Amino acid sequence: MKEQLQALQKEALDKIQTVEGSQGLQDVKVAYLGKKGSLTGILRGMGKLSAEERPVVGEIANQVRQAITEAIEEKQDQLEQVAMEQKLAKEAIDVTLPGRPVNVGGKHLLTQMIEDIEDLFIGMGFEVREGPEVETDYFNFEALNLPKDHPARDMQDSFYITNELLLRTHTSPVQARTMREYEGQKPVKMICPGKVYRRDTDDATHSHQFTQIEGLYVDKNVRMSDLKGVLDTFAKHMFGEDRDIRLRPSFFPFTEPSVEMDISCKMCDGKGCSVCKQSGWIEILGAGMVHPKVLEMAGYDPSVYTGFAFGMGPDRIAMLKYGISDIRHFYINDKRFLTQYHQA
Ligand code: PHE
């Protein structure tokens, strides 16, 4: 029996040496040490041994079991080690390879313009507000002193959704909305940037969707000179300290008096060139003193409150500032155009 056990040990250790994979090892373990395994089989025959032989053989059997168990554990460790090494080799990263370029995005030029203008006006105490792009006929027109069938509605060809709903044609409805929210009690000092829509055929200077920034300042004793000061600050910030502004009489139903603001042409320094059509001046925005009717409709007493309003187009301002000749560049989203204006 002793020889049998030793032969078994040798056989098992040989197998463990050569076995492949942990499943194979598991099979070997079951084959020798399992309930139906060879060692167990031999031990079953111990009952036939004499009382003196039994402890001797028992001890050998234990040694054999221990030797096999240890060999299996050792092999298991080896297999795990090999598996780990293979995994590491497979996942190895070559840190010397050149990196892949990362495409970093940037802000759209119009976003940059709007944020710059927002910063300037926030610095002058204006708050930044928003309003809906799908607007009611009431806020887009009526509350701005443009009753139904008023001929001046034709100044802004509109996309109607229903009889009473349209895509806003300007950011001016936010004037009326803000005043209404303030209930005729508090001063209003806000700007509102956003998208606007007009039924125009797209060409180099027209886009059916473009951007505007509205400005509104309502308080006691707001005067036209306040408007001029604010606009002058804006023009110099945007186009340089050496620019002059001039206000020309104009017409908007929601302001009285109404003006258009020009800046002196930077190309020719006001002498006249093709950019300013020989006039020396370039039109930038529309503005005026808020019409008493507009104040009244929004709940402000025009004998107590006065105000100014202006509306400017960041598209047009960006085109002038950067010499961009086609408004469609802003909306085609060609990266070759947009990335030229990305800031580091
Ligand atoms: N809403 C006018 C437009 O889109 C611009 C404007 C705003 C004029 C505010 C005067 C005051 O043409």
309 lines ligand 1 (CB under 6 A): yes
316 lines ligand 1 (CB under 6 A): no
Q: What distance in Å separates the CA atoms of residue 8 and residue 3, rounded to the nearest whole number?
A: 8
197 lines ligand 1 (CB under 6 A): no
Compute the distance from residue 107 Cα to the ligand 1 centre, in Å.
26
pLDDT digit string, tens, across residues 120-135: 999 999 999 999 999 9
Of the candidates 226, 210, 206, the one whose C-alpha atom is nearest the C-alpha of residue 218 is: 226
pLDDT digit string, tens, across residues 100-157: 988 888 999 999 999 999 999 999 999 999 999 999 999 999 999 999 989 888 777 8
The rounded percent of the chain whose pLDDT value lies above 70 is: 100
213 lines ligand 1 (CB under 6 A): no
Mean pLDDT score, 95-99: 91
Of the options 3.30.930.10, 3.40.980.10, 3.40.50.300, 3.40.50.800, the CATH number for the domain spanning 110-341: 3.30.930.10
Of the candidates 279, 278, 308, the one whose C-alpha atom is nearest the C-alpha of residue 291 is: 308
Q: What distance in Å separates the CA atoms of residue 229 and residue 239, rounded to the nearest whole number?
A: 15
Mean pLDDT score, 182-207: 96
Looking at ligand 1, which atom is closest to the CA of residue 196? 4
In contact, 32 and 8? CB cutoff 8 Å? yes
- At 282, is the secondary structure helix, strand, or coil? strand
Mean pLDDT score, 289-303: 98
pLDDT reading at 43 higher than 80: no
Compute the distance from residue 213 Cα to the ligand 1 centre, in Å.
9
Residue of 252, 295, 312 with the most ligand 1 atoms within 8 Å of its CB, for mutation: 252
Kindly indicate the confidence band of residue 242, based on its pLDDT and cuts at 50, 70 and 90: very high
pTM for this predicted structure: 0.73
Compute the distance from residue 226 Cα to the ligand 1 centre, in Å.
17
Compute the distance from residue 172 Cα to the ligand 1 centre, in Å.
6
DSSP H or E segment with residue 258: strand 255-264
The rounded percent of the chain whose pLDDT value lies above 90 is: 66
The pLDDT, as a whole number, for residue 201 is: 94
The pLDDT, as a whole number, for residue 131 is: 98
